[in-house]
Structure 1
């Protein structure tokens, strides 16, 4: 019996127009949209494969009034800009040469040949956009049912073609895989882990952050450590810290956060955190947040005081990493001290360092008392000024 793909997204009017523009039999849905539909998961991105050359794709889309962007035309990819969301259309390919970091490809017209160059069987599922017929040459459908992440063909050869596939394997294992994992895949990843050193730090950082952003990457990261893969990309990491954080996030109903989870993997050393952020090519804001989380020194006595001093998000990072209660911050907005330096000068204090000292002293007392209102701040100012004149 022929299995057919059925999903609401396949009925999109703009998608039907795209398929008509490319022509019957010229394109098929491929990869994540097919995989996730079969798993009953939401579909975020729609990718298509086509026997048409990129130039022909652009010409046909133009004739149909569909705007296109040559997002990766050297590798055969054209993006169709549709009202319901962009669709990437890539010409069938086969590898001419690979060195583990990049591939030289040639365009092809054989669907199976195109599927054979992909990484995992569950990503090599194609579907006819008109009939829904599913094409599966490598057992991907059975692997989906078994929640098995398996390389197409020889796992070592797939990794030698693109070393990043090691990290992609663990990301897919964390998202889709069952336990125990595919033994051949794990063995190949462990054997070739050192090849990750030849990749750009940005690619490694991006794939690592994608893994850490999944609902529960803890068991997979632990397995990466056991297989010697984690030591290659993040030798500073302690996977136990991530496991504890995920438990705290889950029990206190906090969303998964890749930066916080990276912080939990690292020791409480701000300079080291900044170094890792630079190595992973993180943004300046992400680097600052990682370093702030690394400045932790145990569970804080007053979560609100911490949030006032370093910000709500960094405070949540530290609290969760330490396994502390975050409920004092629920529904609480970080207040502003109802006192300005000009008010202190108006009380007879000469402008300069003394104003800053008085302001800081009042602020410390205000925080210690739980952020009382303006009337109490005025009283605290009176107390500080009277002490200073005594």
Structure 2
């Protein structure tokens, strides 16, 4: 007999974690019930990893706080106004949210009331596959018939798609991101149509929210398909402020078995949007990227230019030294993707180059200013000029010159 959805849920390791069961025990008192909801249930049914568990409950927030504290757990009022309490149990945080229903909707500022109706709570969520609940014993609760959509990997808005999107325009990007992560086949036509009709709402979203959602999309398995559709519909340009090389990005993701880096948003954005260096700054500002993310993109873009000029294996030491191992690998992958997209046969050298970039040690310049001073040079700005000249000589020697050879080449002692 084949295993059914409830069998899968009952066997889920996360459901039997002592920390989670302790939260259930604390919250489920005086007739209140609690159920895991959303991503943990969806991911379990689809065979994806579960990284966190959200819980919905009929218990009011103040009761959740009191009961958790009495049980020796640590409650944190992270979203009291919206009925959300974070309970730290066995070192792991669980978000516990009281059942809600919308009374009036003003975009993200919807006025909600707390309730005890599981179906009304489900109706205010975004997609049917995210409106699945499971109790502490593994019993599945499906108030809106989302199980069929989930198992079919069909991403469908709950109720009227236009209404769901107007509640929060970020749901346009979530529609494509959830599809890229969990979908199969064509996108839901009604949902896609609503995204097109409501697309100007993307202009109202903050850069942080857009950037967070887009980074998650770029990591997803079907990101090339989702981004192509977004680009064809004009959504990519609204979200990013620029154009996209969708064929190059699709080619990059074809290299996923060769290089895990192809899923990294920074490299993806360089390939997708890095027509000129200024594009990277625009994307960085638009998505509010961190300094580390910006630096990686800029380094990858510069390394890509160098690899285009010389992709021979012999260039690997210089690439690693100038751009670091990560930057050199990013540059090689970006060029490789471009050549695949252009159906160029000149890719074998890039495959060998990538292997070398992973295996070679980063060359280390053997000379320091103190070595030159010990050899008789005078401290000061001129010393830096000498060091730069000697570093160039060392690189030209294919990093072969020794410290003593460089000192001998440094000129007369002062």
| TM-score normalised by length of structure 1 | 0.91
Specify which of 22, 29, 39 is matched with residue 17 of structure 1.
Answer: 22
Specify which of 32, 38, 49 is matched with residue 39 of structure 2.
Answer: 32
Q: 1:9 to 1:303 in 2, by over 3 A?
A: same
Aligned to 1:297: 305
User: Is structure 2 residue 216 aligned with structure 1 residue 210?
Assistant: yes
Moved more, 112-121 or 60-69: 60-69
Partners of 2:253 and 2:262 within 8 A in 1: no
Specify which of 322, 328, 333 is matched with residue 335 of structure 2.
Answer: 322
Secondary structure in structure 1 of the residue aligned to 2:169: coil
Partners of 1:244 and 1:321 within 8 A in 2: no
User: Is structure 2 residue 356 aligned with structure 1 residue 332?
Assistant: no
Aligned to 2:247: 240
| TM-score normalised by length of structure 2 | 0.86
Specify which of 41, 58, 76 is matched with residue 83 of structure 2.
Answer: 76
Secondary structure in structure 2 of the residue aligned to 1:288: helix
Moved more, 116-125 or 178-187: 178-187
Specify which of 319, 330, 335 is matched with residue 306 of structure 1.
Answer: 319
Moved more, 315-324 or 85-94: 315-324
Superposed counterparts of 1:222-233, under 5 Å: 222-233=228-239
Aligned to 2:141: 135
Q: Number of paired residues?
A: 385
C-alpha displacement at 1:290, in angstroms?
Answer: 2.2
**Cα separation, 2, equivalents of 1:23 and 1:80:** 14
**Cα separation, 2, equivalents of 1:254 and 1:334:** 19
**Cα separation, 2, equivalents of 1:246 and 1:92:** 40
C-alpha displacement at 1:348, in angstroms?
Answer: 4.1
Partners of 1:237 and 1:267 within 8 A in 2: no
Specify which of 169, 172, 180 is matched with residue 175 of structure 2.
Answer: 169
Partners of 1:241 and 1:264 within 8 A in 2: yes
Partners of 1:33 and 1:46 within 8 A in 2: yes
**Cα separation, 1, equivalents of 2:5 and 2:251:** 46
**Cα separation, 2, equivalents of 1:363 and 1:27:** 65
Which structure has greater helix proportion? 2
User: Is structure 2 residue 290 aligned with structure 1 residue 257?
Assistant: no
User: Is structure 2 residue 293 aligned with structure 1 residue 286?
Assistant: yes
Partners of 1:52 and 1:91 within 8 A in 2: yes
Q: 1:253 to 1:133 in 2, by over 3 A?
A: closer
Gaps of 5+ in 1: none
Per-residue displacement from partner, 1:281-307 (whole Å, max 9, x unpaired)? 111222222233333425253233122
C-alpha displacement at 1:333, in angstroms?
Answer: 3.3
Gaps of 5+ in 2: 337-349
User: Is structure 2 residue 390 aligned with structure 1 residue 385?
Assistant: no
Moved more, 59-68 or 303-312: 303-312
Q: 1:369 to 1:249 in 2, by over 3 A?
A: farther
